[in-house]
Amino acid sequence: MKEFFKAILYTPLYNLLIFLVWLTPGNDVGVAIIVLTVLIRLALLPSTNKSYQAQKEMKAIQPKLEEIKKKYSKEEQAAKTMELYKEHKVNPLGSCLPLLIQLPIIFVLYSVFQVGLDTSHFNLLYSFIPRPSVVDTYFLGINLARPEKWFLPIIVGLLQLVQMWQMQRYIGNPTKSSGGQSDMVNMMTKQMMYFTPVMTFFISLRLPAALPLYWGVTTLFTIAQQWWFFEKKGLAIVGGESGGSFMGIKNETPTVTDAPAGQRFKTKSKDVVVTVRRKGER
């Protein structure tokens, strides 16, 4: 298994990093890591968007899942839940796929950054990869080959907080259910929103600064991707504290100042119809 991961992940990523170092002016590792991060995130873009779609769909059918819990016994709930997933073509595991893909990449990059920030392991390079004569490990005055105690860990922790807050804003809170379950989930979600950035900060203190740099850039990319998927496309789930069980369609409602009362316009979404009334009518 170790040789398998080395062949399909470690060696290709190492070669790509060194190639990017060779391309950058001054053989700057920091710039190469940023470019490498963007390339990885672009490669993962389809799977990540599918995970957002899965979260959106799971949230949209949450009220129906609660109805199943109320109407059917525990023995029947599993079958009815699977029928609901099949009816709405929802994959409950779809939101986990990007995480399962990214974890091995993070572990491999940790190893790559451990050995790839100098010229001593060029024996791992493919024959067609050019070899830079020197590798500059300093980026903005930070030695990326060593742990950095304040700047990068703080930036990464804050970006993690923004990303988690943004995701909670777009997805919304859990739908109310019996037994006060939503209150418990809300409390755990809020705790994780603050606990995870703190843990990210302390973990970043111990890692070579190259990995927090990758972590920070990929989190920044995720923030932009979430904004584009939920905000730009108008797919944020709205509903406030009640949890929200419908999708808020934004930037698609026509602005009409003079139209016959009761005239209807269809938006780009097939599921939304907007009724336009004259100003002052209810």
Element spanning 226, H or E: helix 210-226
Mean pLDDT of all residues belonging to the chain: 74
pLDDT bracket for residue 39 (50, 70, 90)? very high
Q: What is 107-137 written as a DSSP string? A: HHHHHHHHHSSSSTTGGGS-TTS---S--B-
Q: Which two tokens stand for residue 276?
A: 């336009």
Q: Assign 261 a pLDDT band (cuts: 50, 70, 90).
A: very low
**DSSP code at position 209:** T
Average pLDDT over residues 37-47: 87
Nearest of 265, 221, 225, 272 to residue 250 by alpha carbon: 272
Q: Is 58 in contact with 245 (CB distance < 8 Å)?
A: no
Which helix (H) or strand (E) is 249 found in, with range? none
158-175 burial: b if 16+ Cβ within 10 Å, else e: ebbbebbebbeebbbbbb
Reading the block at residue 6, the tokens are 């080395």
Which residue ranges make up each domain of the chain? 2-247
Distance separating alpha carbons of residues 172 and 241, to the nearest angstrom: 8
Distant-in-sequence, close-in-space partners of 216: CB < 8 Å, separation ≥ 6: 152, 155, 156, 159
Between 255 and 122, name the one with better pLDDT.
122
Q: Tens digit of pLDDT for each residue in 193-212?
A: 778 888 989 988 888 899 89
Q: By C-alpha distance, which of 50, 54, 59 is closest to 92?
A: 54
